[in-house]
Structure 1
Amino acid sequence: MLRRLRRPTAALIPVLLVPTLVACGGSSTKDADAPASGSVSGVSITGDVGKSISAKWPAKVAKPTLTKATTLVKGSGDKIADGDSVSTYLWVGDGTTKKQAYSDYSNGAPESIPNNSSQLGTVFSKLFDGATYGSRVAVVTTAEELFGNSSGSSQLGIGGDDTLVVVADLVKKAPTSPTPSDAKAHTAPASKLPKVVETKGKPTGLDWTGVTKPSLTTPVQRVVLKEGTGRAVKASDTVTVNYLGETYQAKKPFDESYSSKPLTSALSGLVKGWSIGLTGVKVGSRVLVQIPPAYGYGAEGSGSTIPANATLWFVIDVVKAK
């Protein structure tokens, strides 16, 4: 559930605020499946770039005094340019516990990470700096350096004092999505968006009768179905919500929380359309939000249920914000 809504690498670096989709072009490189074998700080990394990864740990991984990138496999593709969106398989190993903490290979898909030098954190800036497509690049770093805090990540089982190995397989330049006309939430007539279908008082789907498929450049549209009495949500908030999401004329949701438990997350860690669509909404409200692909999952989509360049619709109940 969480991976559906997370911005790329949000589980790893909450400070990376640019969504997947600000991409340019789409040239791949033959080195995406090049065999890889190399080591960094005694950690042996094996597997084929773009296909798999595994690590063999030494007796101890020393905490680095400086985060430095090591190229384990040099790809023969073009040099990654500032502004490119890079289709990347990320892997994070905890050198203190000697366990895998995060892997896009386990998740089954790469992430599109914008190479924006003004917004990438130190770790990712060093992974991308001077690299070419098809490369496997690694850094040994600290939890504080990666997450921007001294507490690590309880979600990933990483302690604040842990030494981390971060590996990036820089597979190819990711494709692009059309840019919406603006990055604001627009109040839409309820008749232009689908109706919420409920069962026993809980949303179970959307009724698409009479709804026209929007242009990919249409900005975020929003209808407040029920206005709450709490304070207005801010883009910097952590929110607790129930939600249901569908693509155009889908027969069922691609994700929902009403049958399980609410989602709690920083808005900055979710797809950009959520931040745009929920900012200014009062706690206690139910809203229906239409999100263009550039502020959702873009030209690559997500899994088998969110196609490339899919507009997304979410019904969202804002339970809490802080």
Structure 2
Amino acid sequence: MNRALRRIAPVALATAAAALLLAGCAGGGDPEATDTPAAADCMDLSAGELSDGVKVEGDFGGVPTVTFDTPLEAEELERTIVTEGDGEVTAAGDSVNAVVSAFAGSSGAQLFSQPATITAGGEGVYEAFLAGIDCVPTGTRTVTVAPASALYDGEGNENVGLAKGESVVIVVDVKEPLKAKEWTEDVPEVTFGAEGEAPTVTLPDTAPPTDFQIKVLEEGDGDVVATGDTVTLNYQGTSWDTGEVFDQSYGGDPAQFSTDQVIQGFGAALVGQKVGTKLIVSIPPEYAYGTDAAAAELGGQTLVFLVEILDTAPAA
């Protein structure tokens, strides 16, 4: 296995929003220090002059354009509902499908814009990010203005260009739960080699699929993967846009990933599947590394993963 490829594996903890939202994963803070709401409670949030003053443009679920007076310096959390959806209201414990975009309060510069799956009311998630999904209907777009103390323990995050003590503007689009369609047309050809050899995935000469699609190649008969499980698997990732294999576990030890700390499409492809299953999944950019090609190495690309599920275990 080419270990150098692991830097853009499905977890991609250095850049994926799943890691940026978690206390202790991006800024060296202590997850226990993050104050989260009780299981049945909504956060105490209200709009304010700063959050109301943020102008958001762009398609829902895409990379928004945000303008506000700079420098913006917040003293407390403020949340404004820009567009209210009409779907189910999020509740503590829900796995919420969202697009999270963050902007530096000092300059208005975009820090990141990534799809993410966030557990509402989840322990260890910074309250600045929880605020955007808290007790709102699916289809809602929110703007949260957060003081430095509400994320990364006020220390900033050099990985995304956030300075110590800097306030942040966060736009969250709360989307419908991610469900895959059955992949029936233009499915890549898969050839499995001898034991220990990497399989070959041959992509058809067509445009990348626009839908999130799964084809079960062989159904297993083991335990069913649940949200939050740690799954042991072999996988191979190919970019439909370049035709190149960008990462795989074949040729080395099987990989272990938690379903809620990987890119959205990868995690969603695992949940509900049985141990022993072999599948291939097509993940469009909005469920992978986002639609912005400049935001991540695989940004704007449709990804294809071949996956063999070997085992699953509940989260500790």
Shorter-chain TM-score: which interval? 0.5 to 0.7
Q: Which has the larger radius of gyration?
A: 1
Alpha-carbon distance between aligned partners in 2 of 1:5 and 1:173, rounded to the nearest angstrom: 24
CA gap of 1:290–1:251, structure 2 versus 1, over 3 A, is closer
Inter-CA distance 316–86: structure 2 relative to 1 (3 Å threshold): same
Indicate which of 68, 86, 89 corresponds to 2:101: 86
* 8 Å contact from structure 2 (residues 64, 101) kept in 1: no
- Partner-residue secondary structure (3-state), 1:294: helix
Q: AA paired with 2:310?
A: V
Question: Structure 1 residue 319 and structure 2 residue 313: aligned?
Answer: no
CA shift digits 1:90-122 (9 cap, x unpaired): xxxxxxxxxxxxxxxxxxx84648798955767
For residues 106-142 of structure 1, give each alpha carbon's deviation from its aligned partner in whole angstroms, at most 9, with x where no partner exists.
Answer: xxx846487989557676225897975xx8824699x
1:229 to 221, 224, 244: 221
CA RMSD, Structure 1 to Structure 2 (Å)? 4.5
* SS of residue in 2 equivalent to 1:246: strand
Higher strand share: 1
Q: How does 1:279-294 map to 2 (within 5 A)?
A: 279-294=271-286
The Cα shift of 1:312 comes to 1.8
CA distance in 1, matches of 2:258, 2:220: 20
Q: Deviations over 1:63-94 (max 9, x none)?
A: xxxxxxxxxx839xxx87558833369xxxxx
- Show the counterpart of 2:186: 192
Give how far 1:321 is off.
Answer: 0.5
Gaps of 5+ in 1: 35-72, 90-108, 142-163
Q: Hey, what's the Cα distance between the residues in 2 that align with 1:111 and 1:242?
A: 28
| C-alpha contact (below 8 Å) 2:265/2:283 kept by paired residues | yes
Q: Which residue of 1 aligns with 2:232?
A: 240
Query: Which of 3, 13, 17 pairs up with 1:8?
Result: 17
TM-score, normalised to structure 2, is 0.54
The worse-fitting range, judged by mean Cα deviation, of 270-279 and 1-10 is 1-10
Letter in 1 for 2:10: L
Q: What is the rounded CA distance, in whole Å, between the counterparts of 1:275 and 1:281 in structure 2?
A: 11
Q: Percent identity?
A: 20
> What is the rounded CA distance, in whole Å, between the counterparts of 2:190 and 2:207 in structure 1?
16
Amino acid at match of 2:102: S
Contact 1:86 1:171 in 2 (8 A): no
Alignment-derived partner of residue 167 in structure 1? 156
**1:137 match:** 148
2:179 counterpart letter in structure 1: K
* 1:98 alignment counterpart: none
User: Aligned partners of 1:114, 1:287: CA distance in 2, in Å?
Assistant: 22
**What is the CA distance between 1:288 and its match in structure 2?**
0.3
Question: Which residue of the partner structure matches residue 41 of structure 2?
Answer: none
Partner of 1:255: 247
The count of corresponding residues between Structure 1 and Structure 2 is: 225
Q: 2:208 aligns with which of 195, 210, 213?
A: 213
The amino acid of 1:250's aligned partner reads: T
State the AA in 2 paired with 1:297.
Answer: Y
**Alpha-carbon spacing, 1:305–1:184, altered in 2? closer, same or farther (3 Å):** same
